[in-house]
Structures are given as structure tokens and as C-alpha cells.
Amino acid sequence: MGRETAAQKRNRISMLLADYQNRAQELRKLQKIVDGLKEQVREIEPGSYGDWSLAHGTPREILDQPAARKALQDAGIEIPTKLTDPPVVVSAKVA
């Protein structure tokens, strides 16, 4: 296989960005649907329902970040922070 030309590279990257954008948009839509369904499922008592069974897992304890921030501030302790990776922003050019 020969070297990729500049035009081929631009085309490959363009297709990659389009695929990313389309799948990210689809994922956001699906996540909204799943979140709505999860709210409904949480209202159902655990048990067997036809071909399906429902159980509730074990809740886990996580850090209450707003309360931890307040406790550190109240104690005069500097709040440790770090920078996240920058978000990926893909948008179509307007012709």
C-alpha cells in the first residue's frame, strides 16, 4: 500500500469526524431514552416478569463533592483541583 496523499488524509479525517458526530448524537438520544426508561423501571418491585427478572443491586457510597468542598473551605484548606482533558467539539461547516 502506498503513502496516503494529503487529499486522502483530509478525506479520511473528514469521514472519521462525521462518523464520530453522528454516533455521539445517536448516543445522546439513546441515553435520554434509557434514562427515561430507568426512571420507570425503578418504580417496579423486584421479581419475575415473563421472560425477565428485575433485581436491585447494592447501593454504593460515593464522595459528596459539594459537601466535601464546603468542609474544606470551612476548615480553610485549599481545594485540590485538576484540569480535565478538553472536550471534543465536532461540528459541520456551514456552506
Q: What is the pLDDT of residue 2?
A: 86
Q: How do residues 58-93 score in pLDDT, each as one tens digit?
A: 999 999 999 999 999 999 999 999 999 999 999 988
Q: What is the pLDDT of residue 68?
A: 97
Q: How do residues 50-60 score in pLDDT, each as one tens digit?
A: 999 999 999 99
**What single DSSP character describes residue 49?**
E
Q: What is the pLDDT of residue 1?
A: 72
Q: What is the pLDDT of residue 50?
A: 96
Q: Are 47 and 54 in contact (CB under 8 A)?
A: yes
Q: How do residues 9-60 score in pLDDT, each as one tens digit?
A: 999 999 999 999 999 999 999 999 999 999 999 999 999 999 999 999 999 9
- What is the chain's alpha carbon radius of gyration, rounded to the nearest angstrom? 23
Q: Output the CA–CA distances (angstroms, integers) from residue 36 to 19, 22, 32, in the order listed.
A: 26, 22, 6
- Dihedral angle, C-alpha 57, 28, 22, 1, nearest 10 °: -30
The yes-or-no verdict on residue 94 having pLDDT over 90 is no
Q: What is the pLDDT of residue 28?
A: 97
Task: For the chain, give the number of residues.
Answer: 95
